[in-house]
Amino acid sequence: MTDHSQRKAEHLDLAATDRVAFRAKTTLLEEVHLVHTALPELAVEEVDLTVEVVGRRLRAPVVIAAMTGGVERAERVNRDLAAVAQEHGIGFGFGSMRPLLEGGPPLGYRVRDVAPDILLLGNIGIVQARDTGTRQLDEVLGETGCDALCVHLNPAMEVIQTGGDDDFRGGLDTLSRLVEELSVPLIVKETGCGLSRRVGRKLVERGVRWVDTSGAGGTSWVGVETLRAGACTRALGEAFWDWGIPTAASVAQLSGLGLGIIATGGVATGVDIARAIALGATAGGTARPFLQAWTNGGKRAASLRVKQVVDEIRLACLLTGARTPKALQRADLVIGPSLARWIPADSPIRARLPAG
């Protein structure tokens, strides 16, 4: 097994446990309170959860977020979870596709035969994207049938990782190139540390239209690499285990910039996704809970977990009088004090909060 394959296998093992959760920091989604509507004037069957993400229609605003690829175990995980995504009409994201760029076997990256209609998201790190020609990236995306490419930003994780990258220059120019040249839409995502308003503005200036928060509060990828790290970086990883912008805060920071937002990072339930949508996200992504369900009970258990998430979003819409997720973005909110500090003064969220 190559070093990269070994790392991916260890990531999969660790991500299926609770050992790599943030220790003190939460997503702050618990501070988003949706105001109950006792007279919704809706039937459950009238709630339409359909949304559009990067030009593709989803039956519900849910993505099985990026986890793995490039190792033997990823083959079964990804094919089963992609099939679940097909069953429910939701999106699915690959883990890093770096192994394909390095000539590795396509383990876990061939799922179109079991999921022909889903929104399928590719994934590559910003450093690898910087150092790879657009044509080669397009070839990998074409071979795997991806509808969009997520470029992940993960400086905190990489610096802690043994042998990880430590030069992140040229990222903005790389994103500009991909916006102009790539044959599919681009999504810029973090990896457990969230995206700020300042970064969001820079992305908009470069033509980016979609982002994935991957905020703090769920899996700490700094924590993952800390558990794998040698003595030289383990102490540094311990110090930065809880680093990052909470997921709800990242959604709030990005609100009003004209970006389509996928909220990931500790998003564990349909209620969490509903809260994120109410803050301005288009959809929510979940990884570890679906992986844990699959680990404990296979494809059927993962499918039941997805159904539970979708049912929770539907009920949250009904109980706020929102016929659609877009209507949920206009629902009345009460925000807790920790999250309120993250909401920019010019955010449209502020106009929806109670006076005083």
Residue 276 has pLDDT above 50, yes or no: yes
pLDDT the model gives residue 13: 54
Is 75:109 a contact under the CB 8 Å cutoff? Answer: no
Residue 210 has pLDDT above 70, yes or no: yes
* Overall average pLDDT of the 260-289 stretch: 97
Residues whose CB falls within 8 Å of the CB of residue 302, separated by 6 or more in sequence, listed in order:
80, 81, 84, 290, 293, 294
Residue 4 has pLDDT above 80, yes or no: no
What are 212's strand-pairing partners?
A: 189, 262
Residue 331 has pLDDT above 80, yes or no: yes
* Confidence label for 297 from pLDDT (cuts 50, 70 and 90): very high
Lowest mean pLDDT among 7-21, 246-260, 322-336, 341-355: 7-21
Is 71:5 a contact under the CB 8 Å cutoff? Answer: yes
pLDDT the model gives residue 70: 72
Rounded to 5°, angle at Cα 19 from 14 and 23: 135
pTM for the model: 0.93
Is 222:243 a contact under the CB 8 Å cutoff? Answer: yes
* Percent of the chain clearing pLDDT 70 (strictly above): 94
* Overall average pLDDT of the 197-218 stretch: 98
* Overall average pLDDT of the 131-158 stretch: 97
Q: What is the CATH number of the domain that holds 69?
A: 3.20.20.70
Distance CA 313, CA 311 (A): 5
Tally of domains in the chain: 1
Range of the domain at 145: 3-352
Residues whose CB falls within 8 Å of the CB of residue 60, separated by 6 or more in sequence, listed in order:
49, 50, 51, 88, 89, 90, 310, 313, 314
Residue 223 has pLDDT above 60, yes or no: yes
pLDDT the model gives residue 294: 95
Distance CA 187, CA 126 (A): 11
Helix or strand or coil: residue 189?
Answer: strand
DSSP string, 85-120: HHHHT-EEE-S--HHHHTT---TT---TTT-SSS-E
From the list 83, 178, 91, 90, the residue with the least C-alpha distance to 138 is 178
